[in-house]
Amino acid sequence: MCRGPAASYGTSVTSAKVQVNGVNLHYQQTGEGSHAVLLLPGMLGSGQTDFGPQLKSMNKQLFTIVAWDPRGYGQSIPPSRDFPPDFFERDAKDAVDLMQALKFKKFSLLGWSDGGITALIAAAKYPTLIHKLVVWGANASVTQEDVRIYNGIRDVSKWSEKVKKPLEEMYGLKYFAKTCEAWVDGISRFAERSDGNICQELLPDIKCPTFIIHGEKDPLVPRAHAEYIHKHIKGSRLLLMAEGKHNLHLRFAEDFNRQVEDFLQT
């Protein structure tokens, strides 16, 4: 079959579910490049709500892009989302097992916020499978200051309409509100551990090339977290975006996509 120019280059986004670890996990996939990339969303996130500009605009000749909905989020319901002490490890295993079920032998991880924490754990625990790692808005520990910040977003009725609306549409208000409260409780429990540890001890085990991006105006994740991750992953690179907030990959999508594509290609 004759192929036309770039427009026919696998630009459509497909959506499907696959059973992984007893759960039907939903994912979106686009592109047909040889470099597979998994996008990992944040709290209450999904491919649809968290990665529109990446699914639409990342280079589809170079990359095959997969965005997943972790269990209990997006369209990976049932089950309802819960937050046992090992929920990040559970997400890391689910994410890696999903990519293996989709027959990707090796892949890169792009993790935002909670998805960044999941990606750090996955890169440390499954080093032979991970090609490169990009994280932003992530943290390897939880401080008392973080707990104060999290409690500030516990009540979703106080969120801005812009952030709240797509999540309310996806989940309905009751599930959205209940899950956000459960998340605040779940992540705040890490602050009770020594050093507030989530995955600090795993960072030196990350051997793949790693790119950490931090928005200097991020109201949810203080800069010290990005600097700690950078310091403890040998050879990692840190980019500070002066105007970036927590959602810098959405707000500055063009710049973000270019920086990430350059890193993944080198």
Query: Is it the case that residue 8 has pLDDT exceeding 90?
Result: no
Active site residues: 113, 218, 246
- Planar angle of CA 44, 185, 68, nearest 5 degrees: 20
What pLDDT shows up at residue 266?
Answer: 87
Contacts of residue 201, Cβ cutoff 8 Å, sequence gap at least 6: none
Counting the structural domains of the chain, the total is 1
Q: What is the pLDDT of residue 3?
A: 34
Over the stretch 82-131, which tens digit does the pLDDT of each residue have?
Answer: 999 999 999 999 999 999 999 999 999 999 999 999 999 999 999 999 99
Residue 7 has pLDDT above 70, yes or no: no
**182 part of a folded domain:** yes
Position 3 in a domain: no
In a domain? residue 88? yes
Sequence-separated (6 or more) residues with CB below 8 Å from residue 86: none
> Has residue 115 been placed in a domain?
yes
Q: What is the pLDDT of residues 208-244, one digit of tens each?
A: 999 999 999 999 999 999 999 999 999 999 999 999 9
CATH number at residue 116: 3.40.50.1820
Using pLDDT thresholds of 50, 70 and 90, give the confidence band for residue 4: very low
Residue 209 lies in a domain: yes
205 in a structural domain: yes
Alpha helix (H) residue ranges in 16-136: 47-50, 52-57, 87-101, 114-125
Whether residue 7 is contained in a domain is answered as no
pLDDT cut 90: percent of the chain above it: 95
What backbone torsions phi and psi does residue 37 show, to the nearest 5 degrees? -135, 130
In the block, which residue shows the tokens 């840190």? 238
pLDDT in tens, 58-73: 999 999 999 999 999 9
Cα 151 to Cα 42, 144, 172, 186, 259: the distances in Å are: 17, 11, 21, 12, 33
Which pLDDT score is estimated for 10? Answer: 55
9-18, 138-147, 223-232: least confident range: 9-18
**Would 155 be classed as within a structural domain?**
yes
> What is residue 11's predicted lDDT score, i.e. its pLDDT?
73
Give this prediction's pTM: 0.95
Q: Domain of 212? A: 14-265
